[in-house]
Amino acid sequence: MAEEKKILYSGMQATGTLTLGNYLGALRNWITLNEEYECYFGVMDMHSITVRQNPTEFRQKARDLFTLYVAAGLDPEKNCIYFQSHVPCHAELAWILNCYTYMGELNRMTQFKDKSAKHADNINAGLYTYPVLMAADILLYQADVVPVGKDQLQHLEITRDIAQRFNGVYGDVFKIPEPYTGKIGARVMSLQDPMKKMSKSDENPNASVFLVDDANVIRKKFKRAVTDSETEVRYDVENKPGISNLMDIYSATTGKSMEDIEKEFAGRGYGDFKTAVGDAVADLLTPLQERFAELKKDKAYIDSMIKANDEKAYYTSTKTLRKVKKKIGYTEMIR
């Protein structure tokens, strides 16, 4: 009898357009994980509304995110790719878990402080309790592992704390998720400020490469990338962050080591190197972009996959929520 696969859970917010950083740092890795794990990947549209969204654009961005998941190589018949807002259990469990989460824990969340500074005119309760909704996302599907970067590790820690607290009162209701410790994707920094991560929301259009950018646009963005006053292509994150970031991207795109890259561009200067990185990224993204364009035209297929995956997510999450409700003493509905 085949061994049951462990469950992996992850997702991305349905805002903006995915960047090269999202792809190299997470999405490309997800594709390699579905053989090893039973995977749930969310279009996290509930998390997205902590910041005001244009409804028409938001609806389209969420659908595009689902389509990009599939275009990138996530098989919607093998993985569960679903819309968070289509599964009411997320909101229900988040409310219950709010009642098992302490204010002091939420006060320590650094992302709340960072986002509050960026959106000072809209510091809302959803932004404050965001980690509890994230905990509900993960715990609903009894996830064994969650791929997280350093900036999300704090959220996984509070998820584990909430789950352990709940289990301490009611028994083994939730699995305690572990951070995914396999191969981690490349950390891609801004092309205009290599001290900060490449972001979907960066106001500088040259700072981020988007997955749907035209090949010529991609090449131009790399030619404009911030470097330093030297000419040597050498990996030195502390003293040459711009060039080191470009080397990270080139390495992740081509599979070449830093030593090989340094040898390849010895004595050639930054111009040649920037051109090579732009070409490599444009070539990498072209098949994804072509597949994305095909899928966008096939509305019936995407609709059918959304429906099937939402139903799977609903079925799985309902089992967990039903158990939670029984444990805390809710009166059962009479149908």
Q: Indicate whether 160 and 263 sit together in one domain.
A: no
Active site positions, annotated? 115, 197, 200
Residue range(s) defining the domain that contains residue 253: 215-294
Confidence (pTM): 0.91
35 belongs to a structural domain: yes
Q: Indicate whether 138 and 119 sit together in one domain.
A: yes
Q: Indicate whether 165 and 270 sit together in one domain.
A: no
Q: Indicate whether 17 and 121 sit together in one domain.
A: yes
Residue 271, domain CATH: 1.10.240.10
CB 140 within 8 A of CB 93: yes
186 belongs to a structural domain: no
Q: Indicate whether 174 and 274 sit together in one domain.
A: no
Give DSSP secondary structure letters for 148-207. --GGGHHHHHHHHHHHHHHHHHHSS-S---EE--SPPPP-PBPSS-TTSB--TT-S-TTT
Q: Indicate whether 222 and 272 sit together in one domain.
A: yes
Residue 54, domain CATH: 3.40.50.620
Instruction: For the sheet with 37-44, list strands across it.
Output: 80-83, 37-44, 6-13, 145-146, 178-179
Q: Indicate whether 171 and 256 sit together in one domain.
A: no
Q: Indicate whether 64 and 174 sit together in one domain.
A: yes
Q: What is the pLDDT of residue 185?
A: 72
Q: 192-221 b/e with 16+ CB inside 10 Å = b?
A: bbbeebbbbebeeebbbbbbebeeeebbeb
Q: Identify the residue with better confidence: 43 or 120.
A: 43
Q: What is the pLDDT of residue 130?
A: 93
pLDDT tens digits for range 98-139: 999 999 999 888 777 777 667 677 788 888 899 999 999 999
pLDDT tens digits for range 173-212: 999 999 987 776 778 999 999 999 999 888 899 999 999 9
Q: Tell me the H-state helices in the chain.
A: 20-22, 28-33, 45-48, 55-72, 89-98, 103-107, 110-118, 125-128, 130-140, 153-170, 215-223, 241-254, 258-264, 269-297, 299-328
Binned at pLDDT 50, 70 and 90, residue 35 comes out as confident
Q: Indicate whether 93 and 152 sit together in one domain.
A: yes
Total count of domains within the chain: 2
Q: Indicate whether 45 and 132 sit together in one domain.
A: yes
198 belongs to a structural domain: no
pLDDT tens digits for range 148-160: 877 778 889 999 9
Cα separation values, 63 from 49, 70, 83, 86, Å = 15, 11, 9, 12
Q: Indicate whether 32 and 118 sit together in one domain.
A: yes
Q: Indicate whether 99 and 228 sit together in one domain.
A: no
